[in-house]
Structure 1
Amino acid sequence: MKNFDRREFLKLAGAASLGATVGGSAPVQPFPALHHNHLADPWLEIDLKNMAWNLAQIRQRAGNRPVMAVIKANAYGHGLVETGKFLEKQKIDFLAAGKFHEALQLRESGVKTPLLNLGAFSRHEAEEIVRHDISQSVYTDDFALLAEAARKLKHSAKVHLKIDTGLGRVGVPHDRALPFIEKVAANSEIQIEGIFTPFTEDDEFDRVQLERFLEICEAAKQRGISVGRRHAASSAGILSFPASHLDMVRPGIAIYGQYPSVREYQARQIDLRPVMSLKARVMYVKTLRPGDSVSYHRAFVAQQETPVATLPVGYSDGYPSQAAGKAEILVQGRRWPTIALVTSNHTTINVTGAEGIKIGDEAVLFGKQGGNEISAEDVAAWAGTSVYKILIGMNPLLPRVYLET
């Protein structure tokens, strides 16, 4: 999908500014035919200068240790390849993908930065992993598939040992980790590039986890085994658990300008700047008469004359239906309440008191407009969910406009 520069985007946006006005006598005209979905449909703006800012803040907080940026789940909704390429320009030390197909897509797009696949892999994928110089998370005897592929391709396989110190999802259990490490290290075709563990983000138990992890690393060292870089700190650890920074840090959500929990958001130990904004354009305006209704099951019934504006955005785009009736949306720099339901493709706002809202006006579902801002955290709170789900839930097919200036 083509990405437009800001000048072209604003030029196109201006073409959509004509249309009916709230309270005007002219009949409402249909949304004009446009050639680019940026105007007819919702879009995401990805502020890359804010991403660079966040990375600099993380590096400083981590004492300039190497950084492995986690770009799983389509880079938390921000666009996998574009984010990977931008972070490569920022001289990121390592990237981490959530699944093999993400890692392969990054390599095939030309990303050359060291890259870890956090996900599982098959026998066929083992060969592709070695062939494309992808590092692989290992925690079962499937590492032998990598050794086999390495022998066939005459190229070493790089691995990071995943240790389960208490999160309990996947990873070699900490009390059985040393024999596993010895088994992996005995393979000359395999290069142990790193060892890592994920935390539960329970403060007291995280300290127990770190102690377990360091004991394993030390035991391997005593046996003459190099385990490479030790990494444990995700975004929460970077912000709240300095002892876990070790040899490399592994931020995810913080790269995208979001805090991992309410606690970190309130503490704001570093200044993170949101990278993503969700925008749309007003597609229809009208004034409801008393008794008129909006949406299925007459979810909203007007008690008096009520000017409303409809936006072409809904839960199919990733905007949460649970936010209906609680969320606010920016148009002309002011907050307007949502009414009725958030349906698959439409959201309606009450614009009582507006002056001249018209078809084509920009609407900001989260992001900044004028001197006002609605955050992704606000949307998450209205929907009773987490900011992770808001960002990752953005439809991959939504146009993404990348802003660097």
Structure 2
Amino acid sequence: MLIDTSRRKFMEYAAITASVVALPSSLWGSTARSKFDLPKENSADFWLELSRKAYHKNAEIISTMANQKPVLAVIKNNAYGLGDVEVAKILDTSVHIEGFALVKADRALALRKAGIKKNILLMGDFDESLGQDLVENDIVLSIFSAHALQKIKSLSNNSKKQISTALYIDTGLGRMGIPFNQAFELATAASGSLGLNIKYTFSTLTTPKDFAKEQIRIFNDLIQELSREGVNVGKTHLAPSFSLIDLPSSHQDMVRPGILIHGSYPLANMDASKKWPLMPTYRLKSRVMRLEKLSAGDTIGFSRFYKVTKDEWIATLPIGWGDGYDSGAENGAKVLLNGALYPVINVNANHTNISLGANTMVKVGDIATLIGPEKPEITPEGFGKLVKRHNYLQINYKESIPKLIFDVF
């Protein structure tokens, strides 16, 4: 009798699974849609949706925050997992965007290959085998050390065009850039090289406000000293997202935000988020792959993290921390499913479990929104507040996640 019951349950589950509709391959890529229609073939288990309107609005708001200064958008780490090529394609037509900054040479080239026209700053190093490609594609190369300067000067000896460069000054961050006490000498050497054109001079500020103010003073003194010597330093920029909000003196000729572009503030509950309400630019969605009613005393996960105290329906989503969904979600996050919010109770490498309560109308194949603008609790800001973690941790999605671009949602 137990065998018959088990077989019947399995056949019912298999029948439900076979009936699930899926996402058509024609939707994936950069095709704009005004709404999302449930699909019919070629499934995807989970995906990201990006909004052109939200990205453009955020670029406008950030420029306004900085007294109309242009924005150099940092899209390193695959735009925090949201897709550097996809985000750059969206923002390439924004009048508020000066260009894009990355730290990997191959990703800078990928933007050009994708048709990005605006300036691209490579803030990191590059392999010599990529040097000529970087020059031919007008990538701005950073001079962050004496060795980097020599490498770029060697490239210029074999190039018929001037190489656009940026002076990267270490004013106290300590991890990257020309130490400020060596910067004058290297900057004048770069300026005296006929094959090089200094397009930008920049530094990176630390978070503590008092020290950041000292960094700004050091940077401004250097710029003045170089200007007196006739060195053209190009456009200056200092302000990452945190300093952009907190230190108006950091704005310089342009600002250089990362997470703000995506509609998130660096920390939850920042006062600036009320004055400057950014738009969430993305939705993270997943379909329900399993639905099961567990009994009181049952547990979930290798560590038995969640223990069922009374009979309840548990939905499984096929996305986990291995895909970039923050494991901290199991400490208070919500998921939107069929118009209602449900608590996340477990996140492992490949799956997320949500509790649906004693009764449910949810079906296998229904689509859940883990992050999105629909409810305050699932916005990037709302997620950060619920799980009491800073907002960078929730944007770390793997490059392989499919992405769909909308005009608006």
TM-score by length of 2: 0.86
- CA gap of 1:51–1:265, structure 2 versus 1, over 3 A, is farther
SS of alignment partner, residue 393 of structure 2: helix
SS of alignment partner, residue 68 of structure 2: coil
Name the amino acid aligned to 1:107: R
The 5 A counterparts of 1:257-336 are: 257-262=263-268, 264=270, 268-336=274-342
Deviations 1:82-111 (A, max 9, x none): 211221111422211221111111111221
Pick aligned residue for 1:93 from 87, 98, 105:
98
1:166 partnered with 2:172: yes
| Cα distance in 2 between the residues matched to 1:290 and 1:245 | 57
SS of alignment partner, residue 45 of structure 1: strand
| Cα distance in 2 between the residues matched to 1:301 and 1:82 | 41
| Cα distance in 1 between the residues matched to 2:122 and 2:279 | 27
Pick aligned residue for 1:156 from 144, 152, 162:
162
Name the amino acid aligned to 2:56: A
Pick aligned residue for 1:404 from 396, 401, 407:
407
Pick aligned residue for 2:52 from 25, 28, 48:
48
The 5 A counterparts of 1:67-216 are: 67-91=71-95, 92-141=97-146, 142-216=148-222
Pick aligned residue for 1:356 from 339, 349, 361:
361
- CA gap of 1:363–1:247, structure 2 versus 1, over 3 A, is same
- CA gap of 1:174–1:7, structure 2 versus 1, over 3 A, is closer
Is the CA contact 2:73–2:258 (under 8 Å) kept in the aligned structure 1?
yes
Name the amino acid aligned to 2:365: G
Q: RMSD across aligned C-alpha pairs, in angstroms?
A: 2.2
| Cα distance in 2 between the residues matched to 1:256 and 1:265 | 18
Deviations 1:231-290 (A, max 9, x none): 111222222211221111112111111112346356533221111221112222222233
Task: Give how far 1:127 is off.
Answer: 2.2
| Cα distance in 2 between the residues matched to 1:74 and 1:136 | 19
Structure 2: gaps (5+ residues): 1-24
Task: Give how far 1:326 is off.
Answer: 3.1
SS of alignment partner, residue 292 of structure 2: strand
SS of alignment partner, residue 6 of structure 1: coil
SS of alignment partner, residue 196 of structure 1: strand
- CA gap of 1:70–1:48, structure 2 versus 1, over 3 A, is same
Which residue pairs with 1:6 in the alignment?
33
Structure 1: gaps (5+ residues): 16-33
Name the amino acid aligned to 2:61: Q
Percent identity, aligned pairs only?
32
| Cα distance in 2 between the residues matched to 1:8 and 1:253 | 26
1:367 partnered with 2:372: yes
| Cα distance in 1 between the residues matched to 2:377 and 2:137 | 43
| Cα distance in 2 between the residues matched to 1:266 and 1:245 | 16
Give the total of aligned pairs: 379
| Cα distance in 1 between the residues matched to 2:235 and 2:331 | 49
Which residue pairs with 1:31 in the alignment?
none
Name the amino acid aligned to 2:91: L
Task: Give how far 1:124 is off.
Answer: 2.4
| Cα distance in 1 between the residues matched to 2:53 and 2:338 | 25
- CA gap of 1:185–1:399, structure 2 versus 1, over 3 A, is same
